[in-house]
Amino acid sequence: MSLETKQTKLRTFELEDSEVLYKWGQNPVYKKRAGYPDVKTRQDAVNLCKTYMKSSLTFAIESKKTHEVIGVFEINERGIDETSGLDRTKEVGFLVDQSFWGQGIMTEVLSRMIDYLFKDLNQLEVWAACYIDNEGCQHLLKKLGFNYMYQLDYSQLTSFIGDLFESVENYYRLTQSQYMTLSR
């Protein structure tokens, strides 16, 4: 499947995309700003790329101008309880290459993906989380109508989840009804 914006094409990952995943793994800013996974070797990048390739809801963000992969967009299940409607709730995560910051690319991509989630997948809610010091992401979410819901300090949960996370994240939500009101 492929989706498009003015500047980008969102498509499935291909094995040759592993090189850009490796590049991002060498830059600590992506771990700090977006929680990018540890990618220390080219084999780690290949393994991550294969994981992305298996997911129908993980997209490579490709520049229409350069045809290079400039980001990743993930749609994750937030719950599976059909009786509560949580099966119609998704959480999104995204990263764009640092050299493309400030060009409106993530505004385009996130807008398109919100549209896809609500109109094509009939989701009830879309959630997103970002680190508390990632002001650009917080601004983007608010600009597109997301509302701040809560803050989660993962270090307080180490007895439950181990030392996997040492971050504090703000969680934002956009409901289908809010989206319909905003898009009129």
* pLDDT tens readout for residues 154-167: 776 555 544 455 57
**Upper half-sphere CA count for residue 89 (Cβ side, 13 Å):** 16
pLDDT digits (tens, 9 = 90+) for 122-151: 999 999 999 998 999 999 999 999 999 999
pLDDT digits (tens, 9 = 90+) for 24-35: 999 988 888 888
Report the pLDDT value the prediction gives residue 55, as an integer from 0 to 100: 92
Domain around 89:
3-182
Q: Which residue has the tokens 């989701």?
A: 123
What pTM value is reported for the model?
A: 0.88
The answer to whether residue 83 scores a pLDDT higher than 70 is no
Give me the amino acid identity at 150.
Y
Q: Looking at residue 104, what DSSP letter applies?
A: S
Mean pLDDT over residues 47-64, rounded? 96
CATH number at residue 131: 3.40.630.30
Q: Which residue has the tokens 């764009």?
A: 96
Backbone angles phi, psi at 55, to 5 degrees: -90, 125
Report the pLDDT value the prediction gives residue 78, as an integer from 0 to 100: 80
Percentage of the residues of the chain whose pLDDT score is greater than 70: 88
The answer to whether residue 184 scores a pLDDT higher than 90 is no
Angle at 140 between CA 126 and CA 106, to 5 degrees: 85
Number of structural domains (the chain) is 1
pLDDT-derived band of residue 182, with 50, 70 and 90 as boundaries? Answer: confident
